[in-house]
């Protein structure tokens, strides 16, 4: 699915989180929103997912106006920094949750849910942990389960907000590659928030550099490195 953002702005009371920003994300791309704290990354991601309404501007999914579309209809898969797994449910049930929550007519059979969950456990390379509880996993494993859970609903877009932010450098690197592999396998349009320039430059097809609610530059990592559009971008990617 390709995503277009037109002149999207967001105010919270009198403060502007997002000045009018425009952006086109091609179908299947892995895109990083990169910027310092407070630059508007999470706000933009939440608007895309339908968790926040913009003050003005439009969002389009495959050319269709999605600005007022419900969270359900957007079919976005979310992964946040804080593991949002259900503590009282096994890994299997956590991943199956979104499928079981569907209306009866759209709910897969138990056998089909089982197949899908097992396929996702393979995809995140944790085939044997279905019966464990989140408290019995490492931080990195929890984030992989969160990713599998987001993928279970067969989302049209994957939205990740600092998904590896709470992990140590080594695990971060492994998961970064894992995300790249899963992205390449699923072909899902993926938007990824980070304030880590190395992570953005290494992982993304396109990097969107943000500062103070504005988009400073959009480009491939090599283009941004070769030709930073402003002093801010130059210093931030160093």
Ligand X SMILES: Nc1ncnc2c1ncn2[C@@H]1O[C@H](COP(=O)(O)OP(=O)(O)OP(=O)(O)O)[C@@H](O)[C@H]1O
Q: Give the interface with ligand X as residue ranges (CB under 6 A).
A: 12, 15, 17, 35, 37-43, 195
CB of 150 to Mg ion, least distance (A): 17
Secondary structure element (H or E) that encloses residue 79, with its range: strand 76-79
| Range 45-50, long-range pairs (CB < 8 A, 24+ positions) | 45/159, 45/161, 45/191, 45/193, 47/8, 47/10, 47/18, 48/3, 48/5, 48/76, 48/157, 48/159, 48/191, 49/74, 49/76, 49/78, 49/159, 50/74, 50/76
Q: How far is CA 149 from the centre of its chain?
A: 12
What are the backbone dihedrals phi and psi of residue 35, each rounded to the nearest 5 degrees, phi first?
Answer: 180, 165
Structure tokens, 36: 């310092």
Binds 235, which of ligand X, Mg ion, none (CB < 5 to 8 A, cut-off by type)?
none
42/141 with CB nearer ligand X? 42
**Chain residues 112-141 in contact with Mg ion, contact rule CB under 5 A:** none
147-167: b (≥16 Cβ within 10 Å) or e: bbbbbbbebbbbbbbbbbbeb
Binds 14, which of Mg ion, ligand X, none (CB < 5 to 8 A, cut-off by type)?
none
**Chain residues 36-65 in contact with Mg ion, contact rule CB under 5 A:** 42
Binds 35, which of ligand X, Mg ion, none (CB < 5 to 8 A, cut-off by type)?
ligand X
CB of 122 to ligand X, least distance (A): 32
Q: In angstroms, rounded to a whole number, what is the distance separating the alpha carbons of residues 55 and 210?
A: 19
32/113 with CB nearer ligand X? 32
What are the backbone dihedrals phi and psi of residue 201, each rounded to the nearest 5 degrees, phi first?
Answer: -70, -30
Binds 39, which of ligand X, Mg ion, none (CB < 5 to 8 A, cut-off by type)?
ligand X
35/130 with CB nearer ligand X? 35
189-194 and 157-161: which strand pairing? parallel
37/64 with CB nearer ligand X? 37
Binds 37, which of ligand X, Mg ion, none (CB < 5 to 8 A, cut-off by type)?
ligand X
Binds 156, which of Mg ion, ligand X, none (CB < 5 to 8 A, cut-off by type)?
none
17/99 with CB nearer ligand X? 17
Q: In angstroms, rounded to a whole number, what is the distance separating the alpha carbons of residues 167 and 206?
A: 24
Is residue 190 at the binding interface for Mg ion, with CB under 5 A as the rule? no
CB of 65 to Mg ion, least distance (A): 26
38/139 with CB nearer ligand X? 38
Q: Which residues here bind Mg ion, judged by CB under 5 A?
A: 42
């Amino acid at each position: 699915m390709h995503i277009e953002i037109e002149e999207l702005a967001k105010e919270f009371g009198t403060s502007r989180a997002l000045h009018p920003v425009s952006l086109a994300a091609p179908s299947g791309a892995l895109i990083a929103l990169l910027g310092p704290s407070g630059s508007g990354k999470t706000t933009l991601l939440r608007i895309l997912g339908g968790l926040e309404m913009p003050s003005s501007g439009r969002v389009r999914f495959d050319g269709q106006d999605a600005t007022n579309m419900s969270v359900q209809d957007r079919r976005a898969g979310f992964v946040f920094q804080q593991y949002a797994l259900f503590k009282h449910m096994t890994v299997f049930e956590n991943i199956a949750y979104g499928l079981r929550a569907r209306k009866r007519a759209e709910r897969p059979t138990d056998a089909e849910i089982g197949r899908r969950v097992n396929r996702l456990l393979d995809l995140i390379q944790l085939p044997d942990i279905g019966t464990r509880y989140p408290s019995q996993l490492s931080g990195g494993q929890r984030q992989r389960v969160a990713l599998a859970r987001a993928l279970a609903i067969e989302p049209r877009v994957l939205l990740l907000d600092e998904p590896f932010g709470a992990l140590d450098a080594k695990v971060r690197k492994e998961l970064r590659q894992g995300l790249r592999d899963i992205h390449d396998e699923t072909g899902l349009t993926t938007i990824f928030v980070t304030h880590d320039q190395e992570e953005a430059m290494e992982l993304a097809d396109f990097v969107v550099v943000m500062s103070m609610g504005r988009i400073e530059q959009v480009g491939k990592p090599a283009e941004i490195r070769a030709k930073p559009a402003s002093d801010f971008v130059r210093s931030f990617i160093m």
